[in-house]
Protein backbone atom coordinates (compact mmCIF):
# COMPACT_ATOMS: atom_id res chain seq x y z
CA UNK A 1 0.00 0.00 0.00
CA UNK A 2 2.01 2.97 -1.30
CA UNK A 3 -0.56 5.74 -0.60
CA UNK A 4 -0.07 8.70 -2.97
CA UNK A 5 2.78 8.38 -5.48
CA UNK A 6 4.14 11.29 -7.52
CA UNK A 7 6.55 11.24 -10.43
CA UNK A 8 9.02 12.67 -11.13
CA UNK A 9 10.59 13.76 -7.83
CA UNK A 10 12.71 16.46 -9.46
CA UNK A 11 12.55 18.25 -12.80
CA UNK A 12 14.35 21.14 -14.47
CA UNK A 13 12.69 22.81 -17.45
CA UNK A 14 13.54 25.66 -19.73
CA UNK A 15 11.03 28.47 -20.20
CA UNK A 16 8.43 27.43 -22.77
CA UNK A 17 8.89 23.68 -22.37
CA UNK A 18 5.97 21.47 -21.40
CA UNK A 19 5.68 18.60 -18.99
CA UNK A 20 3.18 16.46 -17.12
CA UNK A 21 3.35 15.67 -13.43
CA UNK A 22 1.88 12.30 -12.59
CA UNK A 23 -0.01 11.29 -9.46
CA UNK A 24 -1.56 7.97 -8.48
CA UNK A 25 -3.26 6.77 -5.31
CA UNK A 26 -4.08 3.25 -4.21
CA UNK A 27 -6.47 4.07 -1.34
CA UNK A 28 -9.64 3.99 -3.47
CA UNK A 29 -10.22 7.67 -2.74
CA UNK A 30 -12.76 9.65 -4.72
CA UNK A 31 -11.19 13.09 -4.57
CA UNK A 32 -7.75 14.22 -5.69
CA UNK A 33 -5.95 17.56 -5.53
CA UNK A 34 -2.93 19.45 -6.83
CA UNK A 35 -1.24 22.08 -4.66
CA UNK A 36 1.83 24.19 -5.12
CA UNK A 37 4.08 25.29 -2.26
CA UNK A 38 6.23 28.39 -2.46
CA UNK A 39 8.47 29.73 0.34
CA UNK A 40 6.45 31.71 2.87
CA UNK A 41 3.17 31.06 1.03
CA UNK A 42 1.89 27.81 2.46
CA UNK A 43 0.17 25.44 0.05
CA UNK A 44 -2.22 26.79 -2.57
CA UNK A 45 -4.78 24.74 -4.46
CA UNK A 46 -4.31 24.59 -8.24
CA UNK A 47 -7.02 22.13 -9.34
CA UNK A 48 -9.07 19.39 -7.80
CA UNK A 49 -11.20 16.48 -8.90
CA UNK A 50 -14.18 15.46 -6.80
CA UNK A 51 -14.57 12.19 -8.62
CA UNK A 52 -13.57 10.41 -11.80
CA UNK A 53 -14.55 12.51 -14.79
CA UNK A 54 -14.79 15.87 -13.01
CA UNK A 55 -12.25 18.63 -12.44
CA UNK A 56 -12.51 22.13 -10.96
CA UNK A 57 -10.26 25.16 -10.63
CA UNK A 58 -8.73 26.06 -7.32
CA UNK A 59 -7.08 29.28 -6.17
CA UNK A 60 -4.20 29.43 -8.70
CA UNK A 61 -5.17 27.52 -11.91
CA UNK A 62 -3.64 29.81 -14.55
CA UNK A 63 -0.96 28.12 -16.65
CA UNK A 64 -2.02 24.59 -15.71
CA UNK A 65 -4.32 21.87 -17.00
CA UNK A 66 -5.36 18.62 -15.35
CA UNK A 67 -6.71 15.24 -16.34
CA UNK A 68 -8.46 12.74 -14.11
CA UNK A 69 -7.51 9.69 -16.12
CA UNK A 70 -9.35 7.21 -13.89
CA UNK A 71 -10.13 6.88 -10.19
CA UNK A 72 -6.46 6.27 -9.33
CA UNK A 73 -4.67 8.86 -11.46
CA UNK A 74 -4.71 12.66 -11.63
CA UNK A 75 -2.13 14.45 -13.78
CA UNK A 76 -1.06 18.09 -13.90
CA UNK A 77 0.24 19.58 -17.15
CA UNK A 78 2.28 22.70 -17.76
CA UNK A 79 1.86 23.57 -21.44
CA UNK A 80 4.44 26.36 -21.57
CA UNK A 81 6.49 26.55 -18.39
CA UNK A 82 7.38 29.94 -16.91
CA UNK A 83 9.90 30.81 -14.15
CA UNK A 84 6.94 31.77 -11.92
CA UNK A 85 5.97 28.09 -11.92
CA UNK A 86 9.14 27.12 -10.10
CA UNK A 87 7.73 25.48 -7.01
CA UNK A 88 7.17 22.25 -5.13
CA UNK A 89 4.03 20.49 -6.32
CA UNK A 90 2.06 18.18 -4.06
CA UNK A 91 -0.71 15.83 -5.03
CA UNK A 92 -3.22 14.72 -2.41
CA UNK A 93 -6.25 12.47 -2.17
CA UNK A 94 -9.17 12.08 0.22
CA UNK A 95 -12.35 10.14 0.77
CA UNK A 96 -14.29 13.40 1.01
CA UNK A 97 -17.27 12.51 3.16
CA UNK A 98 -19.78 14.84 4.74
CA UNK A 99 -18.38 16.66 7.72
CA UNK A 100 -14.81 16.91 6.54
CA UNK A 101 -12.09 14.82 5.05
CA UNK A 102 -8.50 13.83 5.65
CA UNK A 103 -6.13 14.58 2.82
CA UNK A 104 -3.07 12.40 2.26
CA UNK A 105 -0.15 13.93 0.43
CA UNK A 106 2.40 12.56 -1.98
CA UNK A 107 6.13 13.20 -1.53
CA UNK A 108 6.12 16.14 -3.93
CA UNK A 109 7.75 17.15 -7.22
CA UNK A 110 10.41 19.86 -7.09
CA UNK A 111 10.22 21.82 -10.34
CA UNK A 112 12.67 24.47 -11.48
CA UNK A 113 11.96 26.54 -14.60
CA UNK A 114 14.98 28.39 -15.95
Partner 1 sequence: GENVEQHPSTLSVQEGDSAVIKCTYSDSASNYFPWYKQELGKRPQLIIDIRSNVGEKKDQRIAVTLNKTAKHFSLHITETQPEDSAVYFCAAKRGGGADGLTFGKGTHLIIQP
**Residue ranges binding partner 1 (CB under 8 A):** 30-31, 33, 35, 40-45, 48-51, 58-59, 90, 94, 96, 98-108
- H helix and E strand count, the chain: 0, 11
Tell me, rounded to whole angstroms, the distance of Cα 59 from its chain centroid: 13
- Determine the Cα–Cα distance for residues 45 and 66; give it in Å rounded to an integer: 13
- Residue number, 17 or 61, with CB nearest to partner 1: 61
Nearer to partner 1, 15 or 38 (CB): 38
User: Minimal distance in Å, beta carbon 101 to partner 1?
Assistant: 7
Minimum gap (Å) between residue 15 Cβ and partner 1 = 26
Nearer to partner 1, 64 or 90 (CB): 90
Kind and range of the H or E run holding 44? strand 42-49
- What is the smallest separation between the CB atom of 113 and partner 1, expressed in angstroms? 20
Least CB distance from residue 20 to partner 1, whole Å? Answer: 20
Q: Residue 83, SS3?
A: helix
Is residue 30 within 8 A of residue 74, CB to CB? The reply is no
- The whole-angstrom separation of Cα 62 and Cα 100 is 27
Our CB check for partner 1 shows the closer of 41 and 80 to be 41
Amino acid sequence: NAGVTQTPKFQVLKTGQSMTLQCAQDMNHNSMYWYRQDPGMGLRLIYYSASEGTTDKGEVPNGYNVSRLNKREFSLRLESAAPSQTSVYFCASSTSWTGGDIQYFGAGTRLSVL
